[in-house]
């Protein structure tokens, strides 16, 4: 019996105005898989990720997320579906006026859960990403690496089935990149599906030595399975 895919895109296109940013993209993310999405800047990596978490909607083609056709989802359904997806942005996107603990528990708060009841889980999570001593710091007080790790912690606090990371190592040094990669690999070993957009081929090589990964490349506005020359 076929395992349902976490995300399926079938001949998906996305246009902004008259500009075709993506065309004829077909992608299947199996549960527990680890994918890298690579390609030059401006190729459409971020656009594809935004399609995956429904910030953008396909202009053409079919797309299902957790087995549901996205065109059938209402606004509230989309919001609830996003709670099953952890997103890590290069820019992190925090609420700068709130301390780190409140930022990390934001997904719980918006889902109507009481962060106080998840305090132990939150403490473990902060220890896991190495931020247990920075609980009361606000995002502007954190370093680039700390912000990326915090973004990853926030992305997984709801125990999502899918992790999407858009250039998660874009603003950090190599040592921190490896640390973030290690966290993503650990999540994948826990059964999470991971899709990372990056132009850092060294990061992909480092991942390949630890876990089975599939590398996809965006070129000419469409998606191709990358060769083994990495």
Partner 1 sequence: MGRSGADRVVPPTGFTARLTVFTAAAMAFLAVFALALSLATDRLASRWSEALARTATVRISAPAGQVAAQVDAAMEVLRTTPGVDSARPLSDAERRALLEPWFGPDLPLDRLRIPALIEVVETPTGIDTTGLRARLAGEAPGAIFDDHTRWRAPLVRAAGRLRMLGLFSLLLISAATAAMITLAAQAALAANARVIATLRLVGALDTYIARAFVRRFTLRAFAGALAGTLAGLATVASLPRADAAGGFLTGLGFTGAEWALPLLIPPITAAVAFAATRFAAFRQLRETT
| Footprint on this chain of partner 1 (rule: CB under 8 A) | 53-57, 75-76, 78-83, 87, 89, 93-98, 102, 106-107, 109-111, 154, 158
Cβ-based nearer residue to partner 1, 28 or 80 = 80
CB of 144 to partner 1, least distance (A): 18
Q: Specify whether the CB–CB gap between 219 and 227 falls below 8 A.
A: no
Report residue 215 as tokens: 């590398």
Compare residues 60 and 219 and give the one whose CB is closer to partner 1. 60
DSSP assignments along 130-154, one per residue: T-GGGTT--GGGS-HHHHHHHHHHH
Q: Which of 230, 226, 222, 190 is nearest to 206 (CA)?
A: 230
In the bound state with partner 1, the residue whose beta carbon lies nearer, of 55 and 69, is 55
Residue 47 near residue 22, CB atoms below 8 Å: yes
Q: Minimum Å distance from CB 93 to partner 1?
A: 5
Least Cα distance to 207 among 181, 186, 188, 229 occurs for 181
For the chain, helix, strand, coil in percent to 5 are 35, 25, 35
Query: What is the smallest separation between the CB atom of 153 and partner 1, expressed in angstroms?
Result: 12
Nearest distance from C-beta of residue 49 to partner 1, angstroms:
11
Taking alpha carbons only, the member of 224, 227, 222, 225 closest to residue 48 is 222
- The token duo for 175 is 């040592």
Closest approach of partner 1 to the CB of residue 120, in Å: 20
Give least dist CB 200 to partner 1, A. Answer: 23
Q: Which is nearer to partner 1, 2 or 96 (CB)?
A: 96
Please return the burial class of 144, using the count of CB atoms within 10 Å of its CB with bins 0-12, 13-18 and 19+: middle
Name the residue with tokens 């199996």.
30
**Cβ-based nearer residue to partner 1, 157 or 213:** 157
| For partner 1, the closer CB: 45 or 217 | 45
């Amino acid at each position: 019996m076929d395992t349902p895919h976490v995300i399926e895109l079938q001949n998906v296109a996305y246009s902004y105005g008259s500009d075709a940013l993506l065309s004829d993209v077909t992608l299947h993310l199996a549960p527990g898989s680890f994918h890298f999405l690579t390609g030059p800047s401006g190729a459409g990596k971020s656009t594809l990720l935004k399609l995956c978490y429904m910030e953008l909607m396909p202009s053409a083609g079919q797309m299902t997320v957790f087995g549901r056709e996205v065109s059938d989802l209402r606004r509230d359904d989309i919001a609830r579906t996003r709670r099953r997806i952890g997103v890590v942005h290069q820019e992190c996107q925090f609420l700068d006026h709130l301390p780190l603990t409140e930022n990390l528990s934001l997904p719980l708060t918006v889902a109507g859960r009481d962060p106080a009841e998840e305090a132990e889980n939150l403490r473990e999570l902060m220890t896991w990403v190495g931020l247990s001593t920075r609980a009361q710091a606000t995002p502007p007080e954190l370093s680039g690496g700390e912000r990326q790790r915090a973004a990853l912690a926030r992305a997984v606090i709801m125990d999502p089935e899918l992790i999407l990371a858009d250039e998660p190592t874009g603003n950090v040094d190599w040592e921190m990149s490896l640390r973030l990669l290690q966290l993503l690999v650990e999540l994948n070993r826990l059964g999470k599906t991971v899709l990372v957009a990056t132009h850092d081929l060294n990061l992909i090589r480092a991942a390949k030595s630890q876990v089975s990964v599939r590398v996809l490349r965006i070129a000419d506005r469409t998606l191709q399975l990358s060769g083994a020359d990495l």
